[in-house]
Amino acid sequence: MIKTSICDILGIEYPIFQGGMAWVSDASLASAVSNAGGLGIIAAGNAPTDYVRNEIKKAKELTNKPFGVNIMLMSPFAVEIAALVIEEKVSAVTTGAGNPSKFMKAWKEAGVKVIPVVPSVAIARLMERNGADAIVAEGGEAGGHIGDLTTMTLVPQVCDAVSIPVIAAGGIADGRGIAAAFMLGASGVQVGTRFLVATECTIHQNYKDKIVNAKDTATIATGKRLGHPIRSLKNPFSREFSKKEYDSNVTNTELVKFGEGALRAAVVDGDKKGGCFMAGQSAGIVKCEQSAKEIITEMFAQAEDLLKGSKVING
């Protein structure tokens, strides 16, 4: 059984986080992952505070194990949700799409474990200085909002730069990815795309089918022009977005407007043409729907087999 320092810090069995995916990571998915021994994470995304409060309350009914909340820092509700996680005594908070420094003191004083998601060494260092308990280093293979570096290059550089545990994210969807992450110096992994097809994940079946049928080149990164590139599956929506992005006659306001509501359309309506199906490059690795427990036990059994004989298990 692979145990690392992050298991002790959070009181979890397996060193795996389920990525906080906007519109996707609800109480159903997060509690299933936590019940299976990982860290389930409810994603706040752009959702109002009351939605997040309700999901936290539901998750507390569904599991006695620790779970986290991911705060998307570009959300208009980020400040309120930062206070909510304290009020609800959530075990851990992860953050994305920005710098959470202004909230960290309050979270730490309240005993909430703070684990920012970072795309670079500089931000990792800053987070450690501000008291982060661990760091998720996320490479550009990931789905959703991404940085420039790959997981293969980012994780070892972040591991060299900080003393807190590093969780590798981006491109990890099976035991080979977990084993590789440990070899790069990580103390755990965060997985998003594979959990999209968990039986407990409540997204539209069209979304799950698209992931299972995806091939290696199925994704595209769009939105660099707006300063926040997003990786999603290639479809009429993402191709049209990409076309508009390179059209100098289209303004940024028009581009933002074109993208509004597209993630919801994918998750809730399964809109194959107009939806934004956020997914990582690991979609091509994902072969079938399984329960969260099956996903986690299968991934770690494979990783353990691969790592047998290796001395590189990072504490």
Which C-beta is closer to ligand TUI: that of 6 or that of 78?
78
Using rule CB under 6 A, residue 177 touches ligand TUI: no
Per the structure block, which two tokens stand in for 313?
A: 């298990």
Using rule CB under 6 A, residue 68 touches ligand TUI: no
Candidate list 81, 117, 154, 286; residue touching ligand TUI; CB under 6 A: 117
The answer to whether residues 171 and 48 touch, using CB atoms and an 8 Å cutoff, is no
Q: Rounded to an integer, what distance in angstroms lies between the CA atom of residue 18 and that of residue 20?
A: 6
CB of 145 to ligand TUI, least distance (A): 3
Using rule CB under 6 A, residue 147 touches ligand TUI: yes
Candidate list 40, 96, 139, 165; residue touching ligand TUI; CB under 6 A: 96
Candidate list 32, 90, 123, 124; residue touching ligand TUI; CB under 6 A: 123
CB of 133 to ligand TUI, least distance (A): 17
**Residues 246-285, interacting with ligand TUI (CB under 6 A):** 278
Candidate list 45, 165, 171, 280; residue touching ligand TUI; CB under 6 A: 45
3-state secondary structure of 56: helix
As a 3-state breakdown, the chain gives helix, strand, coil percent values, each rounded to 5, of 45, 15, 40
Residue type, 144: G
Give just the sign of the alpha carbon dihedral 154, 156, 161, 163. Answer: positive
Which C-beta is closer to ligand TUI: that of 82 or that of 307?
82
Q: Rounded to an integer, what distance in angstroms lies between the CA atom of residue 103 and that of residue 111?
A: 13
**Residues 191-250, interacting with ligand TUI (CB under 6 A):** 228
CB of 167 to ligand TUI, least distance (A): 12
Using rule CB under 6 A, residue 119 touches ligand TUI: yes
| CA angle (144, 147, 150) in 5-degree steps | 100
CB of 259 to ligand TUI, least distance (A): 8
Candidate list 48, 66, 98, 156; residue touching ligand TUI; CB under 6 A: 98
CB of 63 to ligand TUI, least distance (A): 24
Candidate list 5, 49, 54, 99; residue touching ligand TUI; CB under 6 A: 99
- Classify residue 17 by its DSSP letter: E
Q: Rounded to an integer, what distance in angstroms lies between the CA atom of residue 108 and that of residue 70?
A: 16
CB of 70 to ligand TUI, least distance (A): 8
- Quickly count: other Cβ atoms within 10 Å of residue 292's Cβ: 26
